[in-house]
Structure 1
């Protein structure tokens, strides 16, 4: 697809941006620190720059679970929040590009508030994922942002509608309430309820059907992200994947084929240059 085709379909709501950690690859804080852009860099950030055992380095959710068991849940939440709020950093190029399009629906697996900044001047809905809660089965919270107040207010899930842009952050966010799905226990809980139909508000379950997705900076090599994407995009029409991996595993290939997702043969940086 050409630049005009991607942008037209995003603006018209037929193509949904779906963002992952890879969009932060070129993003550094004002002091030069790297914002985590893959599993390894996330583990280093959570563990004070120190590598962990090979078993724990396999995936950041496993490492986060180990840290949570040793140091407690508040520690892992505080560290995650610290990574994305302690020092200022510019918007990654992907978000800058989306700012020119202002999609009506976006899925963002990242834990920071970059996506929210794009919509600071526009009323919108925000859905954030939650896990390991006792109050019911729903694994999400719905907020409405009003420009006049500059604040998010939690609302009932029935209020959600296409009248305002919908920002969906399944793995949580630093704002308006710190809530992160980051450890193995978090993902197990969220995915279990997701498979039961409790990870998405009722409106979104039908609204998302028969749409195409543009996966940017997503790595489907690990089961976790494949399972999350599968639940969030149930009923999809097809999609496109752009990341910096030159070779994909057999598991990735099977997933992409089964979901009719075409991997574009270009890096994320090249893709963005082509859409300037």
Structure 2
């Protein structure tokens, strides 16, 4: 880890707080935020893989890997089974955390939520000036598109209506609400990753709103190449100053390399403590 990125975490958090409150920073949030409290749904990729393993016997190569597990299920039990089991996995609602609620009260042009449970959508439910762009699988839909737009009520809208929203929620991997759209199998991601370098799977409005913005990663892990690739592509053409709340002692070598390569300033402290300070 580059020494110049290991700065005082409290100073960095104050920079993040100022950027979020000014609407000049994009929160890139993962399931680790809600996982600070016990939940009834899987709140990490490994936990989702374990859920699949509870439904069927997985080959060794798919154990612990939700994307490979979903691909195995899709190959032998068809896509409808994958969707049904994903709906079952996320059937219990996850309570809106104080931090999600705090984010919903800020003037943020763009929020990226990388998990399926829908807490950020629920946190925004008290407002009517936001929209969502959600990644979708193209398996069996007969449509040549990578995402769908929804208004605050969960109704499908077009890109122009979504662009008029004050806040755009971007859920690149899909979500349980409003229509149970899930990118989950290896095949889903092969399609996306084939074109993500030229950005077509990322909505133009997301690309516009990220321009010049800083990103702050919270509750996310980047131990898998797929997760790192998504983050790199979503960050393109943004600011050159980004932040991540992490526990350095638990990072894999690839995670450390990713943070280094992307010049992400490390806030090395417990996630719960960091969120409390941001909300203070």
Q: Same fold (TM over 0.5)?
A: yes
Contiguous gaps of at least 5 residues in structure 2: 1-10
| Correspondence 1:27 to 2:27 | no
| Correspondence 1:240 to 2:247 | no
1:244 Cα deviation after fit: 4.5
| Correspondence 1:265 to 2:268 | yes
Whole-Å separation in 2 of the counterparts to 1:253 and 1:99: 30
Partner of residue 77, structure 2: 71
| Correspondence 1:38 to 2:40 | no
Deviation track 1:172-210 (CA, whole Å, cap 9, x = no partner) reads: 111221110011111111222322322222232222112
* Greater RCO, CA 8 A, separation 6+: 2
Contiguous gaps of at least 5 residues in structure 1: 146-150
| Correspondence 1:140 to 2:147 | yes
Change (3 A) 1:90 1:206: closer
Change (3 A) 1:245 1:23: farther
* SS of equivalent to 1:242: strand
Aligned pairs for 1:212-231 within 5 A: 212-231=214-233
* Structure with the larger helix share: 2
Deviation track 1:138-166 (CA, whole Å, cap 9, x = no partner) reads: 31111222xxxxx2222222333364211
Partner of residue 12, structure 1: 22
Aligned pairs for 1:194-205 within 5 A: 194-205=196-207
211-220 or 190-199, which moves further after superposition? 190-199
1:77 Cα deviation after fit: 0.9
The structure 1 residue matched to 2:136, chosen from 130, 134, 142, is 130
Contact 1:16 1:107 (8 Å CA) reproduced: yes
Aligned pairs for 1:45-124 within 5 A: 45-48=51-54, 52-85=58-91, 87-101=92-106, 103-123=108-128, 124=130
Whole-Å separation in 2 of the counterparts to 1:48 and 1:102: 42
1:118 Cα deviation after fit: 1.4
Aligned pairs for 1:159-238 within 5 A: 159-161=161-163, 163-237=165-239, 238=241
* SS of equivalent to 2:47: helix
1:3 Cα deviation after fit: 5.3
- TM-score of the aligned structures, taking structure 2 as reference length: 0.84
Change (3 A) 1:97 1:2: farther
1:58 Cα deviation after fit: 4.7
Whole-Å separation in 2 of the counterparts to 1:251 and 1:2: 23
